[in-house]
Chain A
Amino acid sequence: MTDKQNKDKNKQNPSIDRRDFLQGLAATPVLGLFGAALIHEQSVKKKLTKAKPKVVPENLEPLNIAVIGSGAQGQVLIDAMLKLPGLHFKAVCDIWTEYNLKRAAGILKRYGHPVNRYIDYRDMLVREQDLDAVVIASPDFWHADHAVACLEAGLHVYCEKEMSNTLEGAHRMVMASRKAGKLLQIGHQRRSNPRYLHCYDKLIREAKLLGRMTSVNGQWNRAVQPDLGWPEKYAIQPDILRKYGFDSMHQFRNWRWFKNLGGGPIVDLGSHQIDIYNWFLKARPKSVLASGGTDYYDPAAHEWYDTVLAIYEYETPAGTVRAFYQTLTSNSSEGYFENFLGDEGTLHISESSNRGGVYREPNAPQWDEWVRLGYLSAPEKAGTQATSAVLDVRETIAPDRHDIPIVFTDPYHMPHLENFFNTVRGLDTLNCPAETGYETAVTVLKVNEAVKAGKQLAFSEQDFLI
């Protein structure tokens, strides 16, 4: 049809005819196609992002609790507990009365919990008669005495890790818990972290995304830090320090570095993550080989090793798994994470909420079904999160990297404490009971032995049994 013909036609017929209309609207059905594609895409996405509503039990039974040890870690736990419903704080016990005790009691008072202050835990247990549970965040070498005394007083106990600095102490704690018939939860808080639970229950156990696990590696590297100081005017009297097992104020503030008091970085940091090795592999190690030393800091004030590299060997039903762990306190490269490696995939996870990912090996079966089920996010392009937007979607890659689709923004220790208190109320079961904490203590404390021995040390099945 030429222009001339068109013009002629217009002259003849001033109205637009049916043919023109059809021709003009010819491309419009594409919009319908677009709409259909969009609706489908949205419905797939919706399935993936559907969040499970958090079940908050109504009319929680109120619990009376006390805290032993209100230093840095005790403070972290108090902050987390203040966000949990149904808790009444009754007492706080700490030997640094002029600082840590004053502060914890002061904070709790502002939140409507007028607490009694104690310097001695025995005194507290005698006077506080209506307690249900005690949360212990004292130095490691006090855990056994504190926990056993509380359990014997008929109280449920949440005790920070490391369970004890000695296996003898940890053993006493398990026995006391069994004898008293009271709960003892050890503070390996990743065990209640919804992201870790999802990885274990869904990705590893159910979907078996990693295939045959062959290796694990993990680390906690931390930057150089000066020793902790204290305000001179608030120093604890020497006789009080001695009574509670410390030579000096310096030792009181830096107990983690001292033998007989703490366990050094492998216990303070490594224990959290090596606990996950045992959990995710569902196994106990057969042997450990380790190297370490006080390479950087002054050995006089840092009795424990500031650098430790350890290799475990696990025997799992699927075969041998070798697991590496390192902790440095002189360099913070890559921070802290755990990596689980199998022949079909890799799980990279860290307590740090912004880190983690699951990677499919090139020859592994497709994961589309797990993505549809919401176990994994679709392979997301970097930078599509709300924080760093992308204007042109084509410009980002879609590698085989999947996110763990669980968002966790609460304080790290909150779900673990919640799990403990709900178990006390009979609504849940402990995620890290005494026996589990004991196994981890056996696993981790052996590293320091192996460093000292300078050779590979074997575990026997008996080591883990009580």
Chain B
Amino acid sequence: MQIKESQKLQTCALVILRILIGWHFLYEGVAKLLKGNWSAAGFLSQSKWILSPVFQWMVSNETVLNLVNQMNIWGLILIGLGLITGTFTRIAAAAGMALIFLYYLCNPPLAGLFYSIPSEGNYLIVNKNVVEMAALFVLIVFPAARNWGIDHILVRMFRRS
């Protein structure tokens, strides 16, 4: 009985974590979409460290930049929706990790790198991107949507057929 209670609580915590991260992703995407003229150019052109040539190239090529902008906006929105509703949760979480990893690689908080976009905290190697990535990893390895999410229905439909 006691085990069952603690399991319930664990599930509950996972579901809350899933929804919160989903909310964050969804709003990041929607806010950019609503801004209309939003572009990743500023963020990308700041890129430091070894991958910066790649990101600089994205900025310099208009077609690529547009693609990056659209993919980023819709990626954020879809991942957010997926996490909140618990639809293809693992795929969404993995995609979210990949996306954040790209942000991290673009502007890693390493010693000796300085950015003109200010940060609201103080970071060394680990920043909130890394923490959110780790949280998404938790969502992948634990059943965060098996019971409380669309995945619950999908699993059943899949099994039935």
Contact = CB atoms under 8 A, between A and B. Distances in A.
Q: Do chains A and B touch in the complex (CB under 8 A)?
A: yes
A398 to B, nearest CB: 7
B127 to A, nearest CB: 8
Contacts of A395: 117-120, 127-128
A254 B109 CA distance: 53
A407 interface: no
Given A23-B148, A397-B120, A16 B157 contact: yes
A331 interface: no
Contact of B151 (A24, A42, A381): A24
A5 interface: no
A21 B43 CA distance: 42
Contacts of A25: 85, 150, 153
Given A27-B145, A382-B117, A383-B117, 15 more contacts: A14-B160, A16-B156, A24-B150, A30-B85, A31-B84, A31-B85, A38-B27, A38-B30, A386-B39, A389-B38, A390-B117, A391-B40, A392-B43, A395-B119, A397-B119
B34 interface: yes
Contacts of B148: 23-24, 26-27
7 A-B pairs with the lowest CB-CB distances in the bound complex, closest first: A388-B42, A24-B153, A24-B152, A391-B43, A389-B42, A397-B120, A26-B148
A20 B39 CA distance: 42
Interface of A: 10, 14-16, 20-21, 23-28, 30-31, 34, 38, 42, 381-383, 386-398
B103 A10 contact: no
A10 B158 CA distance: 11
B34 A42 contact: yes
A21 B84 CA distance: 16
A20 B86 contact: no
A176 to B, nearest CB: 51
A387 B39 CA distance: 8
Interface in B118-147: 118-120, 127-129, 145, 147
A396 B156 contact: no
A389 B118 CA distance: 12
Most chain B beta carbons < 10 A, residue from A21, A34, A397 = A34
Contacts of B84: 27-28, 30-31, 34
B29 to A, nearest CB: 11
B43 A389 contact: yes
22 contacts: A10-B156, A16-B157, A23-B147, A23-B148, A24-B154, A26-B148, A27-B85, A27-B149, A30-B22, A30-B84, A383-B116, A386-B35, A387-B42, A388-B117, A389-B40, A390-B42, A391-B43, A392-B28, A392-B103, A395-B128, A396-B119, A396-B120
Nearest to A391: B43
Chain B interface, >50% SS class = helix
B23 A34 contact: yes
A38 B77 CA distance: 14
Interface of B: 15, 18-19, 22-23, 26-28, 30-31, 34-35, 37-44, 72, 81, 84-86, 103, 106, 116-120, 127-129, 145, 147-154, 156-157, 159-160
A30 B120 contact: no
A24 B155 CA distance: 10
Most chain B beta carbons < 10 A, residue from A24, A28, A31, A386 = A24
A28 B82 CA distance: 10
Contact of B26 (A34, A381, A387): A34
A23 B147 CA distance: 7
Given A389-B42, A393-B31, A382 B118 contact: yes
A133 B26 CA distance: 60
Most chain A beta carbons < 10 A, residue from B40, B85, B129 = B85
A394 B127 CA distance: 11
Contacts of A16: 153, 156-157, 160
Nearest to B45: A388
A389 B128 contact: no
A397 B26 CA distance: 21
A14 B157 CA distance: 9
